[in-house]
């Protein structure tokens, strides 16, 4: 489909991304899938190519262009190449706003240069074993002790958790449960801090090369200067930045559905049954027609949300709508495309099988479909 949200600079960046991914990432996919983690060298190469921190100021080594469309280009090219485990979207799309909008000048000087070179990989630790979508239910604590905070608690399902050198930790600085969201703050923990431990690299059904870990904080002392923003305002900051995270997931979902459609169209042209290509059967054509229509409608809405976000106008409810509808659409499309592949769709040597596994989590992370509908429903006045 024709898209009008990109200009020549974005398309030039797309070519850079496409070339880099084909040269530096795709040849190692099987190796990283088996290892459960992308190599640190790949991160450094991505940094050297200018793919990390495009929204960060040039004086820190970033691209100096606060334009989410560049993030979109990289996200789309990763999906198009079948690279679902490289955690750049977490690094670029989710974590950059916290570090650029909340960090002090001193913090920026410490963290951002290595962020952009890929020498520092970042993660954000929200989810806990007993608190997922309900962030007010977190139990990890950060108690002020002089010029330090002492952090205790456990996080789980943390993307980039094994590779992370810098972790933005959502913690309760007010131990009084009645403080609710007002007792939550954001603290940055460097991975060499005593008491910080990584647990298992969790074994998942999909996105195998994306390292997803348990993290443990046992009397971890971090300097008070590692507080991001103001104490007690962490929940507010999360709510301000979650729309971009959800839009990032929606973008990946739209790209994933488009990729599944292309794979299936090619398969239906080549695969024969009863003496003719299966694409010649009416049922197959109708299925593909429905899929193509959904993919195009989804892309139009995704592009509208991207445009709104670039203008600083993306609402919480539109981000939630995009997140739930596009992830559910992608799940539905991939399932139907796998069916059209027949028995071969169940074989991992076919990309549609990997897409089936990789796609499933998208309706869960970043806020489940059910939570997104709750957000939209509340905005409707209920």
What single DSSP character describes residue 381? T
The mean pLDDT of 320-342, rounded to a whole number, is: 98
382-to-316, 378, 379 alpha-carbon distances in Å: 16, 5, 7
- Which pLDDT value is given to residue 134? 76
Give the long-range contacts of residues 266-273, CB within 8 A, separation 24 or more.
Answer: 267/340, 267/341, 267/344, 267/352, 268/340, 271/341, 271/342, 271/344
Q: How many domains does the chain have?
A: 3
Q: Which residues of 187-212 are buried (b: 16+ CB within 10 A; e: fewer)?
A: bbbbbebeebebeebbebebbbbbbb
The mean pLDDT of 299-326, rounded to a whole number, is: 98
Q: Could you say which of 203, 231, 259 is where a domain stops?
A: 231
Q: Could you say which of 191, 216, 231 is where a domain stops?
A: 231
- Which pLDDT value is given to residue 36? 97
The mean pLDDT of 272-293, rounded to a whole number, is: 97
177 band by pLDDT with thresholds 50, 70 and 90: low
Q: Could you say which of 180, 201, 231 is where a domain stops?
A: 231
Q: Contact at 8 Å (CB) between 318 and 379?
A: no
pLDDT of residue 223 exceeding 70: yes
pLDDT of residue 180 exceeding 80: no
**How many degrees, rounded to 5, is the angle at CA 40 between CA 24 and CA 33?**
70
- Scanning 278-315, the segments in alpha helix (DSSP H) are 282-310
Q: Say yes or no: 47 and 167 in one domain.
A: no
Nearest Cα residue to 82 out of 14, 33, 12, 34: 33
3-state DSSP call for residue 146? coil
- Which pLDDT value is given to residue 176? 74
Nearest Cα residue to 195 out of 176, 219, 168: 219
Residue 354 in any domain: the answer is yes
CATH of residue 348's domain is 1.20.140.10
pLDDT of residue 222 exceeding 70: yes
Q: In the block, which residue shows the tokens 């027609």? A: 289
Task: Give the burial class of 84: count Cβ atoms within 10 A of its Cβ; 0-12 exposed, 13-18 middle, 19 or more buried.
Answer: buried
Q: Say yes or no: 92 and 171 in one domain.
A: no
The mean pLDDT of 148-168, rounded to a whole number, is: 98
> What residues make up the domain containing 87?
8-120
Q: Say yes or no: 370 and 243 in one domain.
A: yes
The mean pLDDT of 95-116, rounded to a whole number, is: 98
pLDDT per position as a tens digit, 243-268: 999 999 999 999 999 999 999 999 99
Mean residue pLDDT of the chain comes to: 96
**Percent share of the chain, pLDDT over 90:** 94
Residue 2 in any domain: the answer is no
Catalytic residues: 245
Q: Say yes or no: 200 and 135 in one domain.
A: yes
Q: In whole angstroms, how large is the CA radius of gyration of the chain?
A: 21
CA 357 to chain centroid, in Å, comes to 16
182 band by pLDDT with thresholds 50, 70 and 90: confident
- Which pLDDT value is given to residue 133? 77
């Amino acid at each position: 489909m024709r898209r009008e949200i990109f200009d020549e600079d974005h398309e030039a960046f797309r070519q850079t991304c496409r070339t880099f991914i084909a040269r530096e990432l795709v040849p190692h996919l099987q190796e990283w899938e088996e290892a459960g983690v992308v190599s640190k060298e790949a991160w450094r190469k991505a940094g050297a190519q200018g793919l990390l921190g495009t929204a960060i100021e040039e004086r820190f080594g970033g691209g100096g262009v606060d334009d989410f469309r560049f993030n979109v280009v990289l996200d789309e090219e990763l999906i198009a190449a079948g690279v679902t485990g490289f955690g750049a979207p977490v690094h670029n799309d989710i974590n950059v706003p916290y570090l650029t909008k909340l960090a002090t000048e001193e913090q920026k000087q410490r963290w951002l240069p290595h962020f952009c070179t890929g020498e520092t990989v970042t993660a954000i630790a929200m989810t806990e074993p007993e608190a997922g979508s309900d962030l007010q239910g977190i139990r990890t604590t950060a108690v002020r002790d002089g010029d330090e905070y002492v952090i205790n608690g456990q996080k789980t399902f943390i993307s980039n958790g094994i590779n992370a050198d810098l972790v933005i930790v959502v913690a309760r600085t007010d131990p009084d449960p009645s403080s609710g969201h007002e007792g939550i703050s954001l603290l940055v923990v460097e991975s060499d801090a005593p008491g910080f431990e990584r647990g298992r690299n969790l074994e998942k059904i999909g996105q195998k090369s994306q390292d997803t870990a348990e993290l443990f904080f046992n009397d971890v002392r971090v300097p008070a200067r590692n507080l991001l923003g103001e104490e007690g305002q962490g929940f507010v900051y999360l709510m301000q930045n979650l729309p971009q995270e959800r839009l990032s997931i929606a973008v990946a979902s739209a790209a994933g559905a488009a990729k599944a459609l292309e794979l299936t169209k090619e398969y239906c042209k080549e695969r024969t049954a009863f003496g003719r290509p299966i694409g010649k059967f009416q049922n197959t054509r109708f299925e593909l027609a429905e899929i193509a229509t959904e993919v195009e409608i989804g892309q139009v809405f995704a592009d509208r949300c991207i445009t709104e976000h670039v203008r600083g106008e993306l609402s919480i409810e539109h981000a939630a709508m995009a997140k739930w509808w596009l992830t559910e659409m992608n799940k539905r499309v991939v399932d139907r495309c796998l069916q059209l592949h027949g028995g071969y769709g169940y074989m991992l040597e076919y990309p549609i099988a990997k897409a089936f596994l990789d796609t499933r989590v998208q309706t869960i992370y970043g806020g489940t479909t059910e939570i997104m509908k709750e957000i939209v429903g509340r905005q409707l006045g209920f």
